[in-house]
């Protein structure tokens, strides 16, 4: 039994024509193609992509003309292909023929590709952490300013001492419930010397 080949095509601008992609997919034996016209790489802006994902069944092979048709980044692509694989759907790129999870060699290449993507993501997180640590060492604190000013903290403590529920305190001070909880917990924590 041969797998059903399902195609996906996408063009980003009105000047582009999906016909080249659709023709290549048809020549490859695709039985149904989903096409997003004038769609960005963001998956939220691609209704045909969402329909394609819903249509795919275990045993199907998703075929694209080029890798960048389904993902903006290596990490994006690795996530999508991994999720497809977990659903029993294989993946194949016509232009980058080395990415073909229907073959042992293609799966190997994909896993190397995914590992490199994960490595780059880890390196990016390390660089981000190092930057934040360096900023903290210079006395800078990240994040947005607290909504709990000293006056609001004092008012929250007084209201809390009077057994006012945290939800009511938050409403009275026009802040979130968690902001009140954190401020009260911080105020009650023993000070370290």
Give the pLDDT confidence of 81-91 residue by residue, as tens digits: 889 999 999 99
Which residues, 6+ apart, have CB-to-CB distance to 17 below 8 Å? 11
Q: What is the pLDDT of residue 71?
A: 79
Q: Indicate yes or no: pTM above 0.85.
A: no
How far apart are the C-alpha atoms of 154 and 176, rounded to whole Å?
A: 16
Q: What is the pLDDT of residue 147?
A: 85
Q: What is the pLDDT of residue 1?
A: 46
Mean pLDDT of the chain: 87
CATH superfamily label, 5-116 = Resolvase, N-terminal catalytic domain (3.40.50.1390)
Q: Where are the domains of the chain?
A: 5-116, 150-187
**Listing from the earlier edge strand, what are the strands of the sheet with 90-93?**
32-36, 5-10, 61-64, 90-93
Enzyme catalytic residues: 12
Give the pLDDT confidence of 87-123 residue by residue, as tens digits: 999 999 998 888 888 889 988 888 887 788 778 878 8
């Amino acid at each position: 039994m041969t797998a059903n080949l399902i195609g996906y095509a996408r063009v980003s601008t009105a000047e582009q024509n999906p016909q080249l992609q659709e023709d290549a997919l048809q020549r490859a034996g695709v039985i149904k193609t989903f096409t997003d016209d004038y769609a960005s790489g963001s998956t939220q802006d691609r209704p045909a992509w969402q329909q394609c994902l819903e249509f795919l069944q275990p045993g199907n092979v998703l075929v694209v003309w080029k890798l960048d048709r389904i993902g903006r980044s290596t990490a994006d692509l690795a996530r999508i292909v991994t999720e497809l694989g977990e659903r029993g759907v294989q993946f194949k790129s016509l232009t980058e023929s080395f990415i073909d999870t229907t073959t042992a060699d293609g799966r190997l290449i994909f896993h190397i590709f995914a590992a490199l993507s994960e490595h780059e993501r880890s390196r990016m997180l390390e660089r981000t952490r190092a930057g934040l640590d360096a900023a903290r060492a210079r006395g800078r604190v990240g994040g947005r300013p607290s909504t709990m000013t000293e006056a609001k903290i004092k008012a929250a403590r007084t209201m809390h001492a009077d057994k006012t529920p945290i939800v009511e305190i938050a409403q009275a001070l026009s802040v979130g419930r968690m902001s009140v909880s954190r401020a009260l917990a911080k105020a009650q924590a023993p000070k370290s010397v």
